[in-house]
Amino acid sequence: MKITVSSTGLSALDRPRLPMIALVVFALALAVFFVFPDRLSLAAYIGIFALFALSLDLALGMAGIVTLGHAAFFGVGAYTAGWLALAGWQEPITGVVISGLCAAALAGALGPFILRLTGLPLVMVTLAVGVFLFEAANKLTWLTGGDDGLYGMTFSPVLGIFEWSIYGTTDYLYVLAWLALAFYGCHRLTTSNFGLALRGVRENRLRMSLLGSSVLAQLTLAYALSAFIAGVAGALLAQTSEFVGLEVLSVEKSIDVVVILVLGGVGHLYGALLGAPVYLLIKDMSKEWNPHAWMIIIGFMLVFVMLVARGGIHGVLHKVIARSRGKLPNGEPR
């Protein structure tokens, strides 16, 4: 059977299976709550980075915005949540929303200027923005705490009912709820007219512009939405750890989230969910095994993915399921 690829970039195999895979992934995530009750803090951390990677997938995978400075929005969200708590605004949900809006405002202000660029110049400018914010946070110790970071913050119970626990029970379910909400929103966005337009821009900006599409405005909106989700992820990290350090704005965080997407699969939303646990667990175990050589292991892993499984974990699973059904992407031999 010939499998057609639609203008959205989603194959005929993808469309009906999207809700089912989502349910399976989130059912497994919920099972973690019962199977690993002593690892919920780590699971919440992984969920936060899955959310962060999801935000990058919205910008990179859907709109084709290549960036190495996405930690800027993650950090703005984290610092905003910290500042709000220290100022007395300890309600967590509104704190997360406000933090996301601050990150989106920054992206909305930057977008009209930097999104005119493409390719390497865009990468370098986004990297420069991230480095600038990191250095600014390092120098403005009266505002950010510098190397010491922000600490001493406390938060009210979630919905006024669920107290924060040192075992991470509330943290994990709280993060999982935000992740599910963001994933659902992104999934609806990919199938909307706006999502279709973004994919068109990603494939050919000039052609979309000639068709009368407001390319820059669409890219700026996608960038702001992506930054909102990144800011939410940063705020969740601040609330669950009750600490905000300089590393939330570091280049390493931007690279981490890119690696998560490459490993999980760019442009499928599921890549963020699949890549985050695999990458963070391998990174954690590699550091524990050899603190000085863990990057070599990560490097070999990336080379393997690029040479053998360029679609990442999502691509491998997609091919396995397709072969089991006797369906293969266009032109691929069985």
pTM, whole model, 2 decimals? 0.88
In this structure, the dihedral spanned by the alpha carbons of residues 304, 308, 314 and 315, taken in order and rounded to 10 degrees, is 160
**What is the pLDDT at residue 283?**
86
Answer for the pair 191, 82: CB distance below 8 angstroms, yes or no: no
Where b means 16+ CB within 10 Å and e means fewer, 300-324 reads ebeeebeeeeebbbbbbbbbeebee
Cβ neighbour number for residue 162 with a 10 Å cutoff: 14
How far is residue 255's CA from residue 246's CA, in Å, rounded to a whole number? 15
Is the separation of the CB atoms in 226 and 55 below 8 Å?
Answer: yes
244: phi then psi, degrees, rounded to nearest 5? -130, 115
What CA–CA distance (Å, rounded) separates 91 from 103? 19
| Residue pLDDT tens, the chain, 334 long | 333 334 444 444 444 455 666 777 778 888 888 888 888 889 999 999 999 999 999 999 888 999 999 999 999 999 999 999 999 999 999 999 999 999 999 999 999 999 999 889 999 999 999 999 999 999 999 999 888 999 889 899 999 888 888 888 899 999 999 999 999 899 889 888 898 888 888 888 888 888 888 899 999 999 999 999 999 999 999 999 999 999 999 999 999 999 999 888 888 888 888 889 989 988 888 888 877 777 888 888 888 888 877 778 888 887 887 777 776 555 454 4
Residue 312 vs residues 27, 137, 275: alpha-carbon distances, Å: 22, 35, 8
CA distance 62 to 42: 29
CA distance 72 to 131: 8
DSSP string, 88-125: T---HHHHHHHHHHHHHHHHHHHHHHHTT--HHHHHHH
- Look at the block and give the residue holding tokens 């290549």: 66
Q: Outline where DSSP puts E strands in the chain.
A: 150-151, 243-244
**Would you state the structure tokens that stand for residue 79, as one six-digit string?**
């610092």
Distance CA 50, CA 179 (A): 8
Alpha-carbon dihedral of residues 172, 173, 174, 180, nearest 10 degrees?
A: 110
Please report how many Cα atoms fall inside a 13 Å half-sphere around the Cα of residue 191, on the Cβ side: 13
**What type of residue sits at position 14?**
D
pLDDT value of position 216: 92
pLDDT confidence of residue 8: 41
Tokens found for residue 35: 């199977």
At residue 54, φ and ψ (nearest 5 deg) are -60, -40
Q: Which amino acid is at 209?
A: S
Q: Which DSSP string do the residues of 47-70 spell out, in sequence order? A: HHHHHHHHHHIIIIIIT----S-T
**pLDDT value for 1:** 37
d(CA 157, CA 77): 20
Q: What is the pLDDT of residue 239?
A: 94
Euclidean distance between CA atoms 237 and 248, whole angstroms: 9
What is the amino acid identity at position 130? G
Give pLDDT, residue 287.
Answer: 82
Cα distance between residue 234 and residue 48, in whole Å: 8
Coil, strand or helix at 182: helix
CA terminus-to-terminus distance, the chain? 12
